[in-house]
Amino acid sequence: MNITNFIEKAINLDVNWRHYDFFDTIDELKILFKVSYEPSVEKIAMIELSNNIVGYINSNYPFVFIEDKFLPELKNILYKYNYIQYISIDSVNHKYLSIDRALYDKYFNYLENTDRFSAEDFYFYNIT
The span from the CA of 26 to the CA of 55, in Å, is 12
The span from the CA of 9 to the CA of 46, in Å, is 21
**pLDDT, tens digit, for every residue of 88-107?**
999 999 999 999 999 999 99
pTM of the model: 0.95
Contact 46, 53 (CB under 8 A): yes
Q: Is the dihedral of CA 94, 100, 105, 108 positive or negative?
A: negative
Contact 73, 32 (CB under 8 A): yes
- Beta-bridge partner residues of 45: 57
Contact 60, 23 (CB under 8 A): no
**pLDDT band (50, 70, 90) for residue 19:** confident
